[in-house]
Structure 1
Amino acid sequence: MLRKRATRLAAQHPLRHPEVGAAIASTRFLRAASARPEPSTSVARPLSNRTYARGFATVPDLSAPRKPLFTKILIANRGEIACRVIRTCRKLGISTVAVYSDADENALHVQMADEAYRLGPAVSAESYLRMDKIIEVAKRSGAQAIHPGYGFLSENAKFAEQLAAEGLVFIGPGVEAMKSMGSKSESKDIMLAAGVPCVPGYHTSEPVPVAELEAQARKLGYPLLIKAVLGGGGKGMRIVRSADEFLPALESAQREALKAFSDERVLIERWIERPRHVEVQVFGDAMGNVVSLWERDCSVQRRHQKIIEEAPAPGLSDEVRKDLSDKAVAAAKAVNYLGAGTVEFILDCDTDEFYFMEMNTRLQVEHPVTEMITGQDLVQWQLEVASENPLPLRQEEIPRIGHAFEARIYAENPRNNFLPDVGPLLYKSTPQPSASLRLEEGFPQGSNIEVYYDPLISKVVAHGRDRTEALRILSKALDEYHVAGVATNVEFLKALAGNEAFIGQELDTGFIAKHHAELFPPISVPSPDVLAQAALFLLLREQPLQPAATISPWHSLAFRRFSDVYTRHFKFQPDPVLTQDSPSGISEVTIVSSNPGSFDIAVKTPDEEPVIFADVKAQMTSPTMVSSTLNAQMVNTTVVQQSPPLAVPPTAAVTDRLHIFHEGSKTTLLIPPPNYLLQIAAEVMSSGVIRAPMPSLVVDVHVQKGDPVKKGQTVVVLESMKTEIVLRAEVDGVVTLVGCKKGNMVEEGKELISIEESA
């Protein structure tokens, strides 16, 4: 009978992969599933704070008639999550309504949706955060419900209240649950009452004087963590290791919290030195049932924000895994939770004890790894429970098969403290999706990564039979993920996926700092192969692209004369902007050709003997692909040329970049500018000119004209893509120019401060 029920469920709820469906019906899986304890849903309890659910909790009756799903929903978000929701709606026959800002008029989610409506200017406060405009569009378009995605209004209880008042369904939790779990202080009180362990600390829902916070910090002891009461995504968080650091960190955290959440209240709690970030995916329905869909490990982070996630969390005992799930379910039940939510825990690596950190009352960025190991569509689950249907599966029927990783592709420069980047996706080539590889994309080639929004480009999700296989699939996919036009973290993610400590499951939230030297090895001089392919690209692009069968001597006339031996010289240098600590020096490549399509190449790198490639056959097989017989073996290399942004002044001495994707690695080279421009740029830099590194908002200006400054002193604070950027004086001297004001939007390359260096 149990086998028949599993087979029926697999048919009713098709899983993502055929092998997962087969595993559900297998005797081994059923035996393991039946060994799991029944969830404590047999006790009826009133649902006091549901907006649209009444009655008592019961065990889900999967045979009861289902209520129809919505016929049209509005997606109040952008990027990959909006595209993700649209895909599920298409599968279910639900019409979708997109909204967009001026910056997203031609975005992918706008193109994918059945309808699309403009909200306003690019700034999110005037578009994606305008509740009134979103509600107006929903009513005008006939949408019955609104899916908020993540970020923006996804955890805004006021928004959910307004939707209810307008007769629209919020595809998310009840208002009271959002309010309770949205406050870090109130949520801890609720968790303690529910028997969920919390990190020792000091928190209150009321504003606290600075002196009182200082006193509580001394009482609690250092190190400690300052955290915004309404925080999330690493905003308003500061680690403090001594009393001297407390006040500056408090001011910074409060300022960031005020900007991000319009609330500067903070709490303080003990800082665990070797913590893991482990979270549990929970789901509740309108009948009061709550289940856990296993846990995820999100320990590897930068700036307190996740960068790679996996499910299930490796290295946990069955007892700890069950305890985590039980406590997460208890946490959700304590607030009568509805829909998708994530209960986040800090797990002490030294003791395996865990503590409640917060609950995210929305669908998480990393939900795909849970979908991969369970075979479930969590967006479909959201739509089911928002339509007042029971949860699709009981606790004992939720599978856990294999292992999955998600790597987030960001527009950022890891070697420059993960500073965000903006600009066009000049070139983008991705691996082919399959049953074991999933891509969550929101920005195709040609899209623009805007300063106004989070720099997440896409997500790569890999599934395998075990952690080793999943990591191998992820690594191969990252090798095939090529982006040019903005700096990305792809090369860093490849280093992370291949790191021995990461492979060995030595995970904690300080992983990147602890293994920094291994994750950021010194940049080596570009290889002769890469330099040769770069030079061939520059040479061959001068010829019209022709099919191989039509190539003749006449096609080489653009760069040679009859009976001549044609010679070209090229110079390259590593890109210091993208690599920070890259080696200096210029490499030279000489190409000699006496026969069309055949070349002798000499490569000279700094401090190395020349490398000769003789009788190389080469051609362009596409506008970006060079095929050649380097080392007597056919090699295909993608090369993308990028011109400098117009906002960069000529004195910055920035010329074209070449992005070279060769044998699984990316190398960025500069074509060096003329010597006179280099000389001018050196003179400008020595004068202490500070320019905007990217389009940014000026948060604060700390100096005035005539002020003396010391090297390392903060002069300007910028904000770009939700990240504060502190610009400091590079020299001792006197400020001679202040070219910006607080609140200004500044372009990349704009001169902000000029300092005359002291003699």
Structure 2
Amino acid sequence: MNNLKKVLIANRGEIAVRIIQACHLLKLKCVAVYSTADKEALHVQLADESVCIGGPDSNQSYLNQQNLLAAAEITNADAIHPGYGFLSENADFAHLCEQQNIKFIGPSSKVIALMGEKANARETMETAGVPIVPGSPRDFIDVDSGLAIAKKIGYPVMLKASAGGGGKGMRVIHSEMEFKQKFSIAQKEAQSAFNDTHMYEEKYLEHPRHVEVQLVADQQGHVVILGNRDCTLQQNHQKVIEEAPAVIVDKATQDEMFRVCIRAAKQIQYEGAGTIEFLYDAPGKFYFMEMNTRIQVEHPVTELTTQTDIVALQLRIARGEPLTNFKEVVSARGFALECRVTAKTAGQIKHLLLPSGHGIRTDRALYQGYKVPPNYDAMIAKIIAYGPDRQTTIRQMQIAIEQTVVEGIRTNLDFLMQLLQEPDFIKNTTDVNWIDLLTHAK
């Protein structure tokens, strides 16, 4: 069993604060790293130690692998928690940690590489018996190869960057002419975001739901399913509101999803927290999209409905602790909803009031007087509501959003309230394109 004592957190914002809380729960020392733009950030103030790792640009700091490893060395950190985003799914960084005998809190670099390359991930999942959407047998870099694949699987197709996600390099394409027009634009976007020009495509489903399965796996080969989530509400391929459990999925399909996820995780010898994402089309029809080999932004809804601390489990697994006290599938109780609060402008928080009360949780790195920098992801907080059922929890969230005050910058709070009051959302009849169609119509 690994005797971890000090964890360096290679991240910022609310997830860094969340990891600090888990470290302190387990009596682990933690090191915050920060850019010059984040000198006054909350995670810097809460950690046991802090190290400046570079300038405000992410490439100078949070993506600077050598600076992060140097910070770990000078603080004698024996583990690195990457959070989400930045280097959390970077196999090269995980490999460097392995070489320097620093525990990377997550799966091995080999598994990260396998799941990070979409064509290989699809092939691996197909071998494990996981249903997949028809798509590229391998990635490609030229338009003619992409056109040949699109002709074979039929339009519409989804063109994606092979090396990443988050909507970067992603385009829905309905014809050969449109493919020729959009391919180079999407590829340039992929090059800018991931420094990789390899592309990938798959059959585009018109009205699917986005359903994902949360799992954790220990070093001894045990895999535990912590329920599922419905992450259908997305804008420009970015999640906006997430739910747990995914009540839209019938039990037979859910049980089959859980079975294939356990089989797949065991086959690749997964370790840590991971999420397998699916497109759900109808009862019995679900298809593998990708596996995220890290903690997810939306992990709180699963924590509340399964009464688990997923971040603490990541740390316990990294220490070599087995998951023998868990059932193979942990049943969800109640219902949870998460809203991502984003900043539309940078600036100083002049007045801040966050919601509280029964069934309300806020994950954030905000405080009154904090200056939101323009350099990073726009998400500044997460509001999570937990209740006995979906309708009650939606009402709890509406009240929570009403009670939230963030003055000094512009946010998406009004937009979140609009979504929470839409009849289609309340009736649970949306799909992954619903927000984009709604905003376009209005």
**TM-score w.r.t. length of structure 2:** 0.96
State the Cα distance separating 1:149 from its structure 2 match: 0.3
Match of 1:423 in 2: 347
Kindly provide the amino acid, as one letter, of the partner of residue 323 in structure 2. Answer: L
State the Cα distance separating 1:176 from its structure 2 match: 1.2
5+ residue gaps, structure 1 = 1-66, 413-420, 521-759
How far does the alpha carbon of each residue in 1:361-387 deviate from its partner, in whole angstroms, 9 at most, with x for none?
000000000000011100110011111
How far does the alpha carbon of each residue in 1:160-197 deviate from its partner, in whole angstroms, 9 at most, with x for none?
11111111100011111101100000000111111111
Aligned pair 1:83/2:17, yes or no?
yes
Kindly provide the amino acid, as one letter, of the partner of residue 273 in structure 2. Answer: A
Alpha-carbon distance in structure 2 between the residues aligned to 1:321 and 1:397: 11
How far does the alpha carbon of each residue in 1:446-469 deviate from its partner, in whole angstroms, 9 at most, with x for none?
222322210001000110011111
Q: 1:154 to 1:185 in 2, by over 3 A?
A: same
Equivalent pair of 1:279/1:296 in contact (CA under 8 Å): yes
Aligned pair 1:436/2:369, yes or no?
no
Equivalent pair of 1:196/1:356 in contact (CA under 8 Å): yes
**Which segment drifts farther, 196-205 or 354-363?**
196-205
Q: 1:431 to 1:485 in 2, by over 3 A?
A: same
Alpha-carbon distance in structure 1 between the residues aligned to 2:203 and 2:31: 45
Larger Rg: 1
Kindly provide the amino acid, as one letter, of the partner of residue 311 in structure 2. Answer: V
Aligned with 1:324: secondary structure? helix
Q: 1:176 to 1:437 in 2, by over 3 A?
A: same
Equivalent pair of 1:101/1:118 in contact (CA under 8 Å): yes
Alpha-carbon distance in structure 1 between the residues aligned to 2:214 and 2:157: 27
State the Cα distance separating 1:360 from its structure 2 match: 0.4
Equivalent pair of 1:307/1:408 in contact (CA under 8 Å): yes
How far does the alpha carbon of each residue in 1:333-381 deviate from its partner, in whole angstroms, 9 at most, with x for none?
22110000000001114x6510000000000000000000011100110
Aligned with 2:211: secondary structure? strand
Q: 1:186 to 1:396 in 2, by over 3 A?
A: closer
Equivalent pair of 2:275/2:292 in contact (CA under 8 Å): yes
Equivalent pair of 1:83/1:109 in contact (CA under 8 Å): yes
Match of 1:511 in 2: 434
Matches within 5 A, 1:308-707: 308-349=241-282, 352-391=284-323, 393-396=325-328, 398-412=330-344, 421-432=345-356, 434-516=357-439
Q: 1:435 to 1:157 in 2, by over 3 A?
A: farther
Kindly provide the amino acid, as one letter, of the partner of residue 390 in structure 2. Answer: R
State the Cα distance separating 1:71 from its structure 2 match: 2.0
Equivalent pair of 1:278/1:299 in contact (CA under 8 Å): yes
Match of 1:231 in 2: 164
Equivalent pair of 1:403/1:470 in contact (CA under 8 Å): yes
Equivalent pair of 2:225/2:328 in contact (CA under 8 Å): no
Match of 1:279 in 2: 212
How far does the alpha carbon of each residue in 1:286-343 deviate from its partner, in whole angstroms, 9 at most, with x for none?
0111111110000010010100000000222110111111122222122110000000
Alpha-carbon distance in structure 2 between the residues aligned to 1:234 and 1:208: 18
Alpha-carbon distance in structure 2 between the residues aligned to 1:352 and 1:424: 49
Aligned pair 1:242/2:184, yes or no?
no
Alpha-carbon distance in structure 2 between the residues aligned to 1:464 and 1:114: 35
State the Cα distance separating 1:435 from its structure 2 match: 5.0
Match of 1:268 in 2: 201
Equivalent pair of 1:281/1:292 in contact (CA under 8 Å): yes
Matches within 5 A, 1:118-267: 118-205=52-139, 207-267=140-200
Alpha-carbon distance in structure 2 between the residues aligned to 1:467 and 1:480: 20
Equivalent pair of 2:224/2:328 in contact (CA under 8 Å): no
State the Cα distance separating 1:241 from its structure 2 match: 1.7
Alpha-carbon distance in structure 1 between the residues aligned to 2:334 and 2:277: 22
State the Cα distance separating 1:513 from its structure 2 match: 3.2
State the Cα distance separating 1:229 from its structure 2 match: 0.6
Equivalent pair of 1:331/1:343 in contact (CA under 8 Å): no
Q: 1:504 to 1:517 in 2, by over 3 A?
A: farther
Q: 1:512 to 1:385 in 2, by over 3 A?
A: same
How far does the alpha carbon of each residue in 1:622-662 deviate from its partner, in whole angstroms, 9 at most, with x for none?
xxxxxxxxxxxxxxxxxxxxxxxxxxxxxxxxxxxxxxxxx
Equivalent pair of 1:298/1:310 in contact (CA under 8 Å): yes
State the Cα distance separating 1:486 from its structure 2 match: 2.2
Kindly provide the amino acid, as one letter, of the partner of residue 381 in structure 2. Answer: S
Kindly provide the amino acid, as one letter, of the partner of residue 326 in structure 1. Answer: R
Aligned with 2:22: secondary structure? helix
Equivalent pair of 2:153/2:203 in contact (CA under 8 Å): yes
How far does the alpha carbon of each residue in 1:173-229 deviate from its partner, in whole angstroms, 9 at most, with x for none?
111110110000000011111111110012414x44321212222232211100011
Kindly provide the amino acid, as one letter, of the partner of residue 78 in structure 2. Answer: Q
Q: RMSD of the TM alignment (CA)?
A: 1.6
Kindly provide the amino acid, as one letter, of the partner of residue 460 in structure 1. Answer: I
**Which segment drifts farther, 106-115 or 248-257?**
248-257
Percent identity of the aligned residues? Answer: 43
User: Where has structure 1 moved over 4 Å in runs of 4 or more?
Assistant: none
Alpha-carbon distance in structure 2 between the residues aligned to 1:479 and 1:451: 26
5+ residue gaps, structure 2 = none
Give the length in aligned residue pairs: 442
Equivalent pair of 2:227/2:329 in contact (CA under 8 Å): no
Kindly provide the amino acid, as one letter, of the partner of residue 496 in structure 1. Answer: L
Q: 1:95 to 1:199 in 2, by over 3 A?
A: same
Kindly provide the amino acid, as one letter, of the partner of residue 361 in structure 1. Answer: T
Match of 1:70 in 2: 4
Alpha-carbon distance in structure 1 between the residues aligned to 2:303 and 2:314: 13
Aligned with 1:298: secondary structure? strand
Alpha-carbon distance in structure 1 between the residues aligned to 2:11 and 2:412: 24
State the Cα distance separating 1:512 from its structure 2 match: 1.1
Alpha-carbon distance in structure 2 between the residues aligned to 1:141 and 1:96: 10
Match of 1:656 in 2: none
Alpha-carbon distance in structure 2 between the residues aligned to 1:273 and 1:144: 47
Kindly provide the amino acid, as one letter, of the partner of residue 111 in structure 2. Answer: A
**TM-score w.r.t. length of structure 1:** 0.57
